[in-house]
Amino acid sequence: MAFLKRIIRLLYARAETVFDWSFGQRNSPLANLGALGWYFFWIVAGTGIYLYLFFDTGITDAYASVEYITHDQWYAAGVMRSLHRYASDALVIVVFLHILREFSLDRLRGRRFFAWLTGVPLIWFIYMCGITGYWLVWDKLAQFIAIATTEWFDTLPFFGQPIANNFLNSTTLGGRFFTLMVFMHIFAPLFMLFLMWLHIQRHAGARVNPPRPLAIGTAISLLVLSLVYPAVSQGPADLDVVPATLNLDWYYLAVYPLLDIIPGGQLWLILVVGSIFLSLLPWIPPKKSTPVAVVSLDNCNGCARCAEDCPFSAITMEPRSDGLAYNTEAVVNDSNCMSCGMCVGACPTATPFRRASAIVPGIELPDHPIAGWRERTKAASSRSGDGPRALVYACNTANATKLSEHGAQVITMPCVAMLPPAFIDFALSRDLADGVMLAGCAEGDCFYRLGDDWTNLRIAGERDPYLRKRVDRERLQLSWLPQGSTRRRQRQLADFTASLGRLPPRPPKRGSRDA
């Protein structure tokens, strides 16, 4: 499984390089697949409501009403029909890319299983919406789908009377089944919306809107496509005539040609077993449990910054339980905590400038004590060799060993947003390093979702705890690159170190008040 993930990751890394170059990291479609899924859903829902105003829900008049929509009112309802069709197709594409990407980035195992597990039924709902949608047009394609689907359902042992009998010929055709499809096409998207909401419940401030340039570019592309290739029907359904040739929408209807080669019952089995297997992926292989964040009440002043920065809504502020003179205290919900450490980076008590010999912040990851970072930051100054001394704080995905091969001191952590900004100030103001690099995932695409956002804001002085103004920004390098960009990162580090060498010498350090 790890090998498969690595291969897919490699392919994505190639594509991401091209997309990042064309769109910029933040606006890249590949970094916004979940948000694009929401965006396409809303386009489909909005255009669907408009189409419903002109759609006749009776089987005898449905086709004529869709023809009216397509041709008579081509400039409005016709465009809406095409947008409805193409946004639905685009939804399938982005969802499959989203699944593959989350899988390759391993954002599904351990306590992160929830989004994956709620995602699997979403796939079924997407298809339910798409297939019932094609049915409503009641053209030759709909006729084919109606017959193939009902025959396929008849392979299940649930129905007394074969439901395919409804579509034997024009005399057996009844409107009830059609009305059922209309209902399903309205209620399935509503239930899908509920599942989409559930899907992101463990994500604080989930990204459900693509960045504006991407949203506008996508809308324009869909509109152009709709005007150049308007969606049309394939002639009225006639149950007395078998359709000779059909244009299939492969995004939604790929399963139908399979029915020609695989018996219906076996195809059900494949899809159900496939879905169960997909649902089990978060536990294949099981992830070693990582220690969750622990609050030290003696050091917690109830400021709530950790709760505000936790990307997985794992911290709540509760009434004080220890009698100290603060109103609230931070409480970690172990089953939501992903051990990213961003809460540590947010905590005002997590500072290396504290005089205590053993610094214990209000919240901490037990396997990454910040007291150890202070010692390693101090040790960075004793590095032998010529040239500027670069100190790198890197997240685990940044392939840090390759950076230390290039002469930098590297301190790793789960996410670079775990680093309280005071450490940068500490390293530079105590002359422990000539420059500091923060190495993390691509912008807008942090493995733990919000690490680059919080780090950028803290450094810009727009979010607590912020980096003090006195820190010379020329001695700070932010390196946001996709996972696997080892060579690009090495080049960045080399350029940064060279730029440090060109800076004027720093004034000699005055008597240090060492911590």
Which residues make up the interface to ligand SF4 (CB under 6 A)?
Answer: 292-293, 295, 300-306, 310, 312, 314-315, 330, 332, 337-343, 346-347, 349, 362-363
Q: Is 305 in the site for ligand HEM (CB under 6 A)?
A: no
384 phi and psi angles, rounded to 5 deg = -85, 165
Contacts with ligand HEM in 181-200 (CB under 6 A)?
A: 196, 199-200
Q: From ligand HEM, ligand SF4, none, which one binds at residue 300 (CB under 5 to 8 Å depending on kind)?
A: ligand SF4
Residue from 479, 471, 481 nearest 506 by CA? 471
Sheet holding 476-480, edge to edge: 409-413, 390-395, 435-440, 476-480
CB of 477 to ligand SF4, least distance (A): 25
Q: Is 314 in the site for ligand HEM (CB under 6 A)?
A: no
Q: Are residues 306 and 319 in contact, defined by beta-carbon separation less than 8 angstroms?
A: no
Q: Mask of contacts with ligand HEM, 70-109, x by CB under 6 A? A: -------------------------x--xx--x----xx-
Residue from 311, 337, 292 nearest 450 by CA? 311
Query: Among the candidate windows 120-128, 144-152, 269-277, 460-468, which touches ligand HEM by CB under 6 A?
Result: 120-128
3-state secondary structure of 328: strand
Query: Among the candidate windows 68-76, 129-137, 203-211, 217-225, which touches ligand HEM by CB under 6 A?
Result: 203-211
CB of 128 to ligand HEM, least distance (A): 12
| Residue 181, H or E segment | helix 175-199
Query: Among the candidate windows 22-30, 115-123, 386-394, 401-409, which touches ligand HEM by CB under 6 A?
Result: 115-123
Q: Is 345 in the site for ligand HEM (CB under 6 A)?
A: no
Helix axes 79-104, 33-54, angle to 10 degrees: 160
CB of 192 to ligand HEM, least distance (A): 7
Q: Is 414 in the site for ligand HEM (CB under 6 A)?
A: no
- 426-453 in b/e form (b: 16+ CB < 10 A) is bbbbbebbbbbbbbbbbbbbbbbbbbbb
Q: From ligand SF4, ligand HEM, none, which one binds at residue 164 (CB under 5 to 8 Å depending on kind)?
A: none
Q: From ligand HEM, ligand SF4, none, which one binds at residue 343 (CB under 5 to 8 Å depending on kind)?
A: ligand SF4
Two tokens, residue 514: 């060492």
Q: From ligand HEM, ligand SF4, none, which one binds at residue 37 (CB under 5 to 8 Å depending on kind)?
A: ligand HEM
CB of 337 to ligand SF4, least distance (A): 3
**Residues binding ligand HEM: number (CB under 6 A):** 25
* Region of residue 399 (phi > 0: left; psi between -120 and 50: alpha; otherwise: beta): left
- DSSP lists the bridge partners of residue 411 as 393
- DSSP lists the bridge partners of residue 139 as 236
Query: Among the candidate windows 113-121, 137-145, 179-187, 236-244, which touches ligand HEM by CB under 6 A?
Result: 113-121
Q: How many CB atoms lie within 10 A of CB 161?
A: 8
Q: How many CB atoms lie within 10 A of CB 44?
A: 24
Two tokens, residue 298: 């003696």
Maximum alpha-carbon separation in the chain:
99
Looking at beta carbons, which residue is closest to ligand SF4? Answer: 362
**Which residue lies nearer to ligand HEM by CB, 127 or 144?**
127
List residues binding ligand HEM (CB under 6 A): 34-35, 37-38, 95, 98-99, 102, 107-108, 112, 115-116, 119-120, 122-123, 196, 199-200, 203, 206-208, 449
